[in-house]
Amino acid sequence: KAGVTQTPRYLIKTRGQQVTLSCSPISGHRSVSWYQQTPGQGLQFLFEYFSETQRNKGNFPGRFSGRQFSNSRSEMNVSTLELGDSALYLCASSWDRGLGRGYTFGSGTRLTVV
């Protein structure tokens, strides 16, 4: 079956702009989580969505937001980009966290803010 698809793979934006990243989970998976990976902070949890509802949110400013659609596809948006937002953004899907199953990650979107 198809894996988790993240688009775009690479993105270059200017400070102050906004960006939207997309994640299509594995068919049937209803949980989608987003992570930011940087050399300095490692893998940091952004938020998790399940059945279109945000279940948990990490310690990121309000400039970071997300949503999930009825088909489980998810988007995350970052407004007023800062240089420090440059990172690899990873999306992970799972059928349901409550069952204690592993997550399937996409290949990520590498965002560079200049």
Partner 1 sequence: SQQGEEDPQALSIQEGENATMNCSYKTSINNLQWYRQNSGRGLVHLILIRSNEREKHSGRLRVTLDTSKKSSSLLITASRAADTASYFCATDVLSFGNEKLTFGTGTRLTIIP
Residues that bind partner 1 (CB under 8 A): 4, 6, 33, 35, 37, 42-43, 45, 48, 55-56, 58-59, 88, 90, 92, 97-98, 100-108, 110
The one-letter amino acid at 33: S
Burial of 45 (0-12, 13-18, 19+ CB in 10 A): middle
Cα dihedral across residues 92, 73, 8, 19: positive or negative: negative
Cβ 62 to partner 1 shortest distance, Å: 18
User: Which one, 76 or 80, has the nearer CB to partner 1?
Assistant: 76
Q: Compute the distance between CA of residue 18 and CA of residue 13 in angstroms, rounded to an integer.
A: 8
| CA-based R_g, the chain, Å | 13
Least distance to partner 1 from the beta carbon of 103, Å?
A: 6
CB of 85 to partner 1, least distance (A): 16
The CB-of-16 to partner 1 minimum distance in angstroms stands at: 26
Nearer to partner 1, 14 or 59 (CB): 59
Q: Which is nearer to partner 1, 3 or 16 (by Cβ)?
A: 3
Pick 21 or 90: Cβ nearer partner 1: 90
- Alpha-carbon distance values, 42 to 11, 46, 75, 104 (Å): 20, 12, 21, 18
